[in-house]
Amino acid sequence: MDEKISIVYQGKTYESPVITGTKNEKAFDIANLRKETGLITMDYGYQNTGSTKSSITFVDGEKGILRYRGYPIEELAEKATFPETAWLLIYGDLPTEDQLTAFRRLLTENSLIHENLLHFFREMPPSAHPMGILSSIVNALGLFSPRFYDTENQAGEFDLMVAGLVSKIRTIAAFSYKASIGEPFAYPEADRSYCSNFLNMMFSSHTKPFVVNPLMEKALNTLLIVHADHEQNCSTSTVRMVGSSQANLYASICAGICALWGPLHGGANQAVLETLLRVQKSGMTVKQVLERAKDKTDPFKLSGFGHRVYKSYDPRAKVLQGLMEKIFSHEDNQDPLLDIARELEHQALSDDYFIERKLYPNVDFYSGILYRAMGIPTNMLTVMFAIGRLPGWIAHWKEMHDDPCSKLNRPRQIYMGEKERHWLDREERA
C-alpha cells in the first residue's frame, strides 16, 4: 500500500509520499514542500534529515547492527582482508579471485608517491599534526594526476585513482610519522600484505629491521575494516557535499579528512587516550572524569562514549572487545590504560546519566588502546581512522557521482539578522 503524509498549512494540504527502505526504514519525502507551501524544514545537526538513498551501508542504531553491502561487520572483521572490504564497498560485491589479484597488483604498482612530494614532509615542523599533513598531501596527489579530474568516459581511470588513493594513503601516513621523528622513509615492499606493509613502513629503519607480529597485522586489518564505512556520518557527508559541486575525488577526500579530524568525530580516539593518560599521570580518578563529563557547565565530554545513531552498544566496539581479549591475554602486551578504560566503561554504564541518555562506548573508546599496542603514537590515531574510512568515502563519492538524482548540496536557512539597513558614514556610526 502506498503510504502518504499530509501537512495542512494555511488551509492548503501538502501530500507527501513515504519512502520505504530495504529494512523498512521510512522517510517523509519533502522534495516539493517549499514549492507547494513556501515552508522549509529546520533540523540542526541534520538529526532527522536523509540526504540521499544509498545501497552501501546499513546501520540499525537501536539494535546495534552494521552491514556493508549486506554483509554483517562481525563476519567481515573475522574473514575479510581490508583490500577485499574496500573493493566490496566501492564496487558493490565481494571481489572474485581474479578481481582481487588485479586489485592487489594495482595497489602494489601505485603505492609510491611522487618524489617531489617528499619535500613537503621534510619542510613541515615536527609538531605539525599528521591529519593536516595527510589532508594536504591527499589534495596534492590530485595535482600530480590532473588527468584524473575528469573521469567521464575514461575506462580504467577511476580504478587507477581508487587503487592509488587506497595504497598511497598508508605510505603518506607512514612517511609523515618518519618525518616527524627525523628518520629516513621506509618504502613500501611489493611482497607484503596491505597491513604488513604499513607496519613495516612505520617501524623499520636501516639500523633495525622490523619483524611484523602476525597478531598485530591481523588486529590492524580488523581495525581498518570496522572503520571502513558508516553511512552518512560527518566526514562522509562532507565528501558528498564537496563532491556534489563536481569537485574532484582528491579534493572531496581531503575535505572528508578535515571533517574527521574533529574530536566529536574521528578525533575522539586521540581524545580518549589523552583522557586515559591524564587519569594515569595526574592522579585524577575515574569518578572525577565522569563528574566532569556530566557537568553541563564544563565543556569536557567523555570521548569514545555516545553516538548520533547507536543508542545501544556500538557493534564495532564489540568486535574490538574480542580483539583486545586476544591481544592483551599475552603477557608481553600489557597496558595500564586498559584497566583505566575498563573501569571508566564499568562506572559509566552503571551511572544514571549515561543510562538515561543511552550513552555506550563507541568504536573510538578502545581503538586507541589497540593502536597503542602496535606502537602507533597518539597523534596518529585519527590518521589510522582515515586510512580505514577511505574506501567508504570513495564508495559514497562514486555512488553520488553515478546517481542521476544527485544535485548540488545546498541547504536553506531561516534568516534571523537585521532587516534592511543603509550605509552610514564613519562619523555617523555610534
Q: Which residues are the active-site residues?
A: 307, 364
Distance, in Å, from the CA atom of 289 to the CA atom of 280, rounded to the nearest integer, reads 12
Asked if 301 interacts with ligand ACO (CB under 6 A), we say: yes
Cell of 106: 594495482
Q: Nearest approach, Cβ of 365 to ligand ACO (angstroms)? A: 7
What one-character-per-residue DSSP string does 183-209 give?
Answer: PPP----TTS-HHHHHHHHHH-BTTB-
Per-residue contact flags (x/-) with ligand ACO for residues 33 to 72, judged by CB under 6 A = ------------x---------------------------
Q: Which of 95, 130, 142, 304 binds ligand ACO (CB under 6 A)?
A: 304
Nearer to ligand ACO, 79 or 358 (CB): 358
Asked if 355 interacts with ligand ACO (CB under 6 A), we say: no
Asked if 302 interacts with ligand ACO (CB under 6 A), we say: yes
Distance, in Å, from the CA atom of 268 to the CA atom of 224, rounded to the nearest integer, reads 16
Per-residue contact flags (x/-) with ligand ACO for residues 89 to 128, judged by CB under 6 A = ----------------------------------------
Distance, in Å, from the CA atom of 326 to the CA atom of 322, rounded to the nearest integer, reads 7
Distance, in Å, from the CA atom of 95 to the CA atom of 99, rounded to the nearest integer, reads 5
Q: Nearest approach, Cβ of 266 to ligand ACO (angstroms)? A: 6
Which among 145-153, 208-216, 280-288, 361-369 is the span making contact with ligand ACO, rule CB under 6 A?
Answer: 361-369
Distance, in Å, from the CA atom of 341 to the CA atom of 344, rounded to the nearest integer, reads 5
Of all residues in the shown chain, the one whose CB is closest to ligand ACO is 306
Q: Nearest approach, Cβ of 232 to ligand ACO (angstroms)? A: 12
What one-character-per-residue DSSP string does 92-160 give?
Answer: SSPPPHHHHHHHHHHHHHT----GGGHHHHHHS-TTS-HHHHHHHHHHHHHHH-GGGG--TT-TTHHHH
Distance, in Å, from the CA atom of 256 to the CA atom of 103, rounded to the nearest integer, reads 24
Instruction: Round to the nearest angstrom and report the end-to-end CA distance of the chain.
Output: 64
Sign of the four-CA dihedral 343, 349, 354, 359? positive
User: For residue 196, which phi and psi values (nearest 5 degrees)?
Assistant: -65, -40
Which among 56-64, 118-126, 246-254, 305-313 is the span making contact with ligand ACO, rule CB under 6 A?
Answer: 305-313
Q: Which of 68, 148, 175, 305 binds ligand ACO (CB under 6 A)?
A: 305
Asked if 240 interacts with ligand ACO (CB under 6 A), we say: no
Nearer to ligand ACO, 228 or 268 (CB): 268
Q: Which of 173, 337, 363, 384 binds ligand ACO (CB under 6 A)?
A: 363
Query: Which amino acid, residue 65?
Result: I
What residues make contact with ligand ACO under the rule CB under 6 A? 45, 233, 264-266, 268, 293, 301-308, 357, 359, 362-364
